Structure 1
């Protein structure tokens, strides 16, 4: 999965939000993502991260995305 594909997936789930995706190793399987969304209002940090992780469930299960570091923010 490319950084562009990850950003597109996140954009579908969090439209009109600030999203950044970084490939940490250049191997397209270790990523850091930043999502700033009002959808996180009222959610704990763990719930926010689970929400983002659910966008990549299949890729995390198969190992296509091996590592995913998540940073979230409420505007």
Structure 2
């Protein structure tokens, strides 16, 4: 069973409260998404640490109910 974009966004925002989250359904199938997560709390962290925080917010759903996620993280300009 696939995850809805709204559920992905809610999990990320719950784990990273100051995050601005944009979710795109890449294939129109509800199974392949891109996420852009922008958070001030990422400032000073290497990209791998930023992405790890997003995966932690998803609570182990990657590779299970969340099949594919193209992830981009950034700090606000």
TM-score (normalizing by structure 1): 0.83
Number of residue pairs aligned between Structure 1 and Structure 2? 74
1:74 aligns with 2:56: no
5+ residue gaps in structure 1?
none
Partners of 1:56 and 1:17 in 2: CA distance: 13
TM-score (normalizing by structure 2): 0.81
> Cα RMSD (Å) of the superposition?
1.5
Partners of 1:55 and 1:19 in 2: CA distance: 12
Paired residue for 2:61? 59
Q: What secondary structure sits across from 1:21 in the alignment?
A: strand
Structure 1 or 2: larger helix share?
Answer: 1
Following superposition, which runs of at least 4 residues in structure 1 exceed 4 angstroms of deviation?
A: none
5+ residue gaps in structure 2?
none
